[in-house]
Amino acid sequence: MERILIKCPAKINLTLEVINKRDDGYHNIKSVMQLISLYDYLDITASHSCKKEILLSGNNPEIPYDNRNLAYKAAELFMETTGLSLSLRIHITKNIPIAAGLAGGSTDAAGTLYGLNKLFGEPLSHDRLHQICAQLGSDLNVCLEGGCLLAQGRGEKIEKLPNISMPVTLIKPKTLGISAREAYTKYSLLQDKPHFNNTEKMITALGDGKNIQNYLYNDLERAVFFDYPELRKIKEEFPKSIMSGSGSTYFVLENLNNTELDGYDVISGLEFIPCGITEEKLPQLNN
């Protein structure tokens, strides 16, 4: 039986511009994404077995621990791609809020692929891992690669951008989650879809070392903002905040230590990180 502990970071969208709707139902986007120091942890144990088996567990009762879970699908696809027959146990310690626009499910799936590949002697190249990530979802490639990236297509086409260091605070309504399907559907119904080209402006600012605050932008915020008073309250309290992904999390690029907002989770003390999925040292057992 082999065991590995994997550290899976969340992402935020510094920009998110929707280009058009694709024939497959997804949308083409142009987005600058940044990995941040908020992590889920995967404790993976695995062994060769005649019978393929995937047992998921975790600390969040809102998550399905079966074949609906993206980490489960990632484990299935790993075995299918490598031809390995494995008995797997994966425990997910969830710290990233769900349905929050932070890629919590995607980073766990990418972490599953990364961890299994490490455990079994890296049968898949880094490029092959990226190909599998692209099969599974839109943000997995970003989470696997890490740092600051330009994401295009439906999010699977990535290009590294200069890394910068900045503090981050997240603000999320405790009882509100917004699915990507809802946000993109509502965006499609908008009559007014301005194009500010903030992604290109953000890329230029990152390259020149300029202040990026003025270029933060999210098309999907326009789509859901007026449907939820919880989002409007965040903007009233924190005018510089921007929604990440499809929401419902907002972020500001500063530390708001000791800040409280009734009905909201405020997670401060975070920062930009230059990496993606990593292996974590296993805890030492007491003798």
Q: What is the pLDDT of residues 132-169, one digit of tens each?
A: 999 999 999 999 999 999 999 999 999 999 999 999 99
Q: Are residues 201 and 136 in the same domain?
A: no
Q: What is the CATH number of the domain that holds 100?
A: 3.30.230.10
Measured CA angle at 59 (ends 58, 63), to 5 deg: 65
Structure tokens at 213: 């605050």
Grouping H, G, I as helix, E, B as strand and the rest as coil, residue 159 is strand
Distance of CA 192 to the CA centre of its chain: 28
Q: Are residues 236 and 113 in the same domain?
A: no
Q: Which of 7, 11, 94, 172 is catalytic?
A: 11
What DSSP string runs through 262-287? TTEEEEEEEEB-S--SEEEPPPPPP-
- Please indicate, yes or no, if residue 281 is contained in any of the structural domains: no
User: Alpha-carbon distance 275 to 35, whole Å?
Assistant: 7
Residue that is last in its domain, among 162, 180, 201: 162
- Please indicate, yes or no, if residue 16 is contained in any of the structural domains: yes
Q: Are residues 21 and 90 in the same domain?
A: yes
Where does residue 138 rank: exposed (0-12), middle (13-18), buried (19+ CB within 10 A)?
Answer: buried
**Domain housing 213:** 167-271
Can 139 be counted among the known catalytic residues? yes
Residue that is last in its domain, among 115, 147, 162: 162
Q: How many domains does the chain have?
A: 2
* H helical segments located in 13-103: 70-82
The reported pLDDT for the residue numbered 285 is 56
Contact partners, residue 175, CB within 8 Å, separation at least 6? 263
Q: What is the CATH number of the domain that holds 252?
A: 3.30.70.890
DSSP-assigned beta bridge partners for residue 48: 86
Q: Are residues 121 and 213 in the same domain?
A: no
- Please indicate, yes or no, if residue 276 is contained in any of the structural domains: no
- Please indicate, yes or no, if residue 125 is contained in any of the structural domains: yes
Query: Which among 242, 221, 200 has a CA at the least distance from the CA of 12?
Result: 242
- Please indicate, yes or no, if residue 19 is contained in any of the structural domains: yes
* Amino acid, res. 163: N
Q: Which of 40, 108, 139, 219 is catalytic?
A: 139
Q: Are residues 156 and 177 in the same domain?
A: no
Residue that is last in its domain, among 162, 188, 209: 162
The reported pLDDT for the residue numbered 21 is 85
Q: Are residues 260 and 189 in the same domain?
A: yes
The reported pLDDT for the residue numbered 287 is 47
Q: Are residues 148 and 42 in the same domain?
A: yes
Q: Are residues 251 and 133 in the same domain?
A: no
pLDDT tens track, the chain, 287 positions = 899 999 999 999 999 999 988 888 789 999 999 999 999 999 999 999 999 999 999 999 999 999 999 999 999 999 999 999 999 999 999 999 999 999 999 999 999 999 999 999 999 999 999 999 999 999 999 999 999 999 999 999 999 999 999 999 999 999 999 999 999 999 999 998 888 999 999 999 999 999 999 999 999 999 999 999 999 999 999 999 999 999 999 999 999 988 999 999 999 999 999 999 999 988 765 54
Q: Are residues 143 and 224 in the same domain?
A: no
Q: Are residues 127 and 78 in the same domain?
A: yes
User: Alpha-carbon distance 179 to 62, whole Å?
Assistant: 14
